[in-house]
Structures are given as structure tokens and as C-alpha cells.
Structure 1
């Protein structure tokens, strides 16, 4: 009896599974490298940056960059006031700021930042970024350590470390350019344990989400600086 057009060999994977596998392979090999280095030169993506040492054995890393139409001092004024309980993150506010618009101007009382200071990521204070390093008008390093089981941030100095967990840095690096412009390079480095759990989360959720949010932040920073210019 001839085979039905829809029949398949015994043991062969379902067509949808085959298609999903092919799509994942195309994403990993072709699109993912572009997402992780959007806007950055090869030198920017490969070079070391302050904050890298906080996650020396990172499982995933990204380096994205943009040229902004203002000198580093002006760009720094916007970066230094970031925070869920401060100016926001200049990204998709519905996703990371509870729908409250990020600041559209520089706020004097938010211009002071210190190492060790916490920048809230959620209203209830359960999640935050810690200022792990800063050099005014040049470098800002934010650290995030998340207890996945509890769904909240934790202090990495406390032992024992929670399991499962995510550790990461989000760092901003400003370089002056001619004509009063700034090259802003943003790097993330992350490590998760156990890797069998956090690996798929990074690949399918964490990395694409960061790309969406970071490119939006670049756009909104440029828009604010253009308005001032």
C-alpha cells in the first residue's frame, strides 16, 4: 500500500519539532551574535571593561554600543539618576517601571551616587541593582544577584549562596568623541546555577529581553539629548 503524503518514518521527529529545531539553530548561529553585539565594534565587543572581574567565569555576555549627541558629562547626568525609585531606566516603562514614565529631565537631587548604594528594580524593594563601581563621567557598574527560588535579590557577601541563582553585571562606559559626542558602550555579564536551568532561560528569554530593553534605552537617551541640543 502506498504511503500517505502525511505519513512519516517510524522514529522520525514530528515536523513541528524539526521546524523548531531548525529555527533555533538559525537564531543561535545567525541572529544571536548580532543581538549580543548590536552597535558595537569588534574591538569594543572583545576588549576588557571595568566590572568584568565581578563575573570572571560568565556564562553569557553582551556588548552593545551607541553614539550619543552630547559630551560625557551630559550623558552621565542621565545615567547617574537611573533607578526604579528614581528616574526610571529610559526603556520600555510598561515593562520595567510599572508604566510610570522615566524622567524627561535631569533631576538635581538624583545626581549623587555612591558605591554600595541600591537602586530598586521593583516597587516592593525585593529586587535591586547595587552600585558596584563608578568613575564619574566615565564608568558605572551595576550588579544584580537574584535568588530564583525566592524571587528576590540577595547580598552576595552572605553565605551560603542561594540555589538556584543568577549573578550579573550591567555596566556603562562613556568615551568622549569629537564634536561633543559620546560613545556609550554597555556590557552585561551573567552566570547562573544550575546551568541546565538558567542556560535555556538566558538563551530564549534573558538575552532577547535585554536586546529589546537596551536598544530602547539607547533610543530614549538619544531622544532626550537631541531635545536638549
Structure 2
């Protein structure tokens, strides 16, 4: 009887935890930093994967101009590109060869639509490159779109919005995504803070450019 009662209690606790995560924590994880209007807004890149199974929208305010944010986006990627401005040691445990740059790399400042950027097993293709406004890449299989929107504001700051849209065609993909959501917040939050730091230093005239 005690074993059966323990199983029932454990099941109820697991169900309650799942409900709390689904209806409270999950939304916070998927929308860190974003306003309700940003979460519900139609943004550039949405059209690249209209039937997404999941969407995250995260954002940050940057005390700089959009043209000082955009350079850090377009050079993202593994060496010799500019890294991902997050925890390099975590990325490199996965064999991604990320080395976050503190300078603008001229060689990657004029991206061409269709250019490939490999992110580990994901072969990403540049789909949108509008200077100072939007940048987006899409996986070769079409199941993942990562898009950035920069919104200029009258007070001299801008909003950097990062939106991930993904399709999960298999049950194991859907199950596997749940534990990845919290991890993605940790990495993406660090990335957004890293971009803000670099863009604001550029705004202050502290950033330099390097040919590579």
C-alpha cells in the first residue's frame, strides 16, 4: 500500500510540476526580456517557417545605434567567424570551435544571401541581411530559423530581438526540446548581453576593426 501511495503521490507531483512549467516557467524561459508586444509581433524571418511547432522571442535594450549592433550579428559563427558571444567553453565542448571576438571582422560584414554558416551539425544559410534592421539564417532542412530584428528608438537606444522558430517533426524531437529550452535561455541571454556590451563599446568609440 505504501509503495502504491508513493507512486500516486509521485505521479501527482510530476503532473503538477509539468503544469507549472508549461503554464508559467516555460513562457518566462521562451520570452526572456521581450515585451508582450514583441512576443506577439510579426517579425522578419517569420515567413521563412510559418508552420513552426515552437517559437522563442528574447530581447534586450542596447544603448547604441542599430548600425552598431548589426556588425556583431553578421559575423557570428565558428572560427574564423566571430563566435557567439556566449560561453565559449560550453560551445567548444560540443566541438563548435567558437571564439567570441571583441572586434568587428571586416571579412564578414557584407553577407551574401545563400552563404552557409555551419553551427555544429546544423548547416545554416543566410536568408535575410538588411543592414541595421534584420538578419536571419535558416537550417538547410528548413526546420530552424534564427532571426534578429533591430528596432531603433527615439531615445538613442535600440531593441535587439532574437527569435527562434523551429519545427519538430518527430516525437523524440519534441521530448528532447523540453530540457533544451532552459539551456537555450542561459546561452542566449549571455549572447544578448555580450552583443550589447560590444555594441555599446563601439558606440563609445572603444571598438576597433580588424581585417581577417
Output the TM-score relative to the length of structure 2.
0.85
Task: Give the 5 Å matches for 1:114-129.
Answer: 114-122=112-120, 126-129=121-124
Whether 1:59 aligns to 2:53 is yes
Gaps of 5+ in 1: 146-153, 157-166
1:202 paired residue among 168, 171, 177:
177
Q: Which residue does the alignment assign to 2:209?
A: none
Q: Which residue does the alignment assign to 1:159?
A: none
Q: Which has the higher helix share?
A: 2
Q: C-alpha displacement at 1:57, in angstroms?
A: 1.1
Gaps of 5+ in 2: 205-212
Aligned equivalents of 2:128, 2:68: Cα separation in 1: 19
Q: C-alpha displacement at 1:8, in angstroms?
A: 4.5
Asked if structure 1 preserves the Cα contact closer than 8 Å seen for 2:77 and 2:98, the reply is no
Higher RCO, 1 or 2 (CA under 8 Å, sep at least 6)? 2
- Give deviations 1:30-75, integer Å, cap 9, x for gaps: 1101111111111111111121122111110011111111100010
Q: C-alpha displacement at 1:180, in angstroms?
A: 2.6
Aligned equivalents of 1:55, 1:78: Cα separation in 2: 24
Structure 1 moving runs of 4+ over 6 Å: none
Q: Relative to structure 1, is the Cα distance of residues 227 and 50 closer, same or farther in structure 2, using a 3 angstrom cutoff?
A: closer
Aligned equivalents of 1:107, 1:87: Cα separation in 2: 7
Q: Which residue does the alignment assign to 1:190?
A: 166
Q: C-alpha displacement at 1:192, in angstroms?
A: 1.5
Question: Between Structure 1 and Structure 2, whose CA radius of gyration is higher?
Answer: 1
- Backbone CA RMSD of aligned residues: 2.1
Output the TM-score relative to the length of structure 1.
0.79
Q: Relative to structure 1, is the Cα distance of residues 16 and 40 closer, same or farther in structure 2, using a 3 angstrom cutoff?
A: same
Q: C-alpha displacement at 1:15, in angstroms?
A: 4.2
